[in-house]
Structure 1
Amino acid sequence: MQLFYHPELDNETNQFTFPVDESRHISKVLRKKSGDILHITNGKGIWYEAEILNPDHKKCTAKITANRAVSPNPYRLHMVVAPTKLNDRFEWFLEKATEIGVHEITPIICDHSERKVIKQERMEKVIQSAMKQSLQTYLPKLNRAISFKEFMTLPNSDNCFIAHCENNQKKELLHAARPKENTSIMIGPEGDFSENEIEMALQNNYKAVALGNNRLRTETAAIVACTTLAMINL
């Protein structure tokens, strides 16, 4: 099954046009014809079925034939992750986290960060592609990159964690996190969080957690955290 993404669809939509890239994919790659049925989401929890009216490779038009609301996950996960030095590793994290079921992602710039700028548009396309590939109807929110200190000034949930490599007292995330709650998890850069950042997080009600006995790369640690939250919410 192929899932398409069109953010402008709503319950009032009857007939619509796909953007050029999706139109080209439908017409040239998939070779869809008039009368064929497509599956689409608006990224807001609605699954649509639509019939192709005109499979033009620049302006493919279709009409909605059915729609249904998809229930959201019983929990909400916000991953706050330092961008990795290599872009492809951070893109891998975005892709896999979306497939697993993350809800919100904030790239965070830390004292030890080697990468301080991300390509927002490119990252959003990676997330959109992963949502479609995994047949999900909720598009994760990608926030702008923000400094650690600025992030600490923002409101947070009661279920907030910071995963770091220091030998401080920590609980395993599996035992610290609670199901069916809003949860935020912070993952640091390749050089880990600084001591000042760890202390600042703890003062802001973040709880220190471990993700196992092995030292993990940033993107691996973030995926372990996503998977752990998904597992305790099964």
Structure 2
Amino acid sequence: MVFCDSSSVVKTIGSTTPGYNETLHQIIETISSLKSSGTQTTLIWIPSHVGIHGNEVADRLAQTECTKPSGAKANHKLSPSEKMSIIKNDWRNDHLLYLKSCQKASIQAMSRTGLTKCFHHRERAITVCLHRLRTGHIYLNSFNHRVDKDADSSFREGCEAIENIKHILIDCPKTESHRRKIRQLLATHNIELSINSLLGLNMALDTTIQCKIRDTLAKFLTKTNLVNIV
């Protein structure tokens, strides 16, 4: 008679499709071998370790081993899916470390590979616009001036200020009326109006707030037609 506190393990051992875990297959083969020799094996699931002295001792030993490893190890072979999971996880960590060699804020803000929720919008044009703003690869006059020194770097709507990301998102008085809702949202959550906060690069903010800021900024970019300029 074997007691186990994992209902999923008990169900898997009794299943006709136990998967690819080698340890589980070894257990199933052992049970089958015992049955052939006339020994019946009974698996009993118990909810947690409570009330079973042996299990409580095993639980304490496991906790002690986690905090103060003795060096004793059980040599259990990993299943192909477990090996693949470890390989993929190692690759993601190495790839993220490689990406972080780039000092751009949009890269440094990444905590993992893959899509970042607040970086994307349901409208593709907005997503592209936000990506350009985060990377600095923009069709603004300040960027054009870097390519062509004869190009005018001032704001195309008549401001004498240089047309850069900070000016169009934060400083330009001509779009201040459309910026009001952004200021109100940030003030409500006591967030400073900055490029990083607007573009999802302030990692101190949780995802919900970042998505609200993204959606409010998207409306601003649409109403000011900046989505078609950037």
TM (norm. structure 2) is: 0.21
- More strand as a share of residues: 1
Structure 1 or 2, whichever has the larger Rg, is 2
TM (norm. structure 1) is: 0.21
Structure of greater relative contact order (alpha carbons < 8 Å, 6+ residues apart): 1
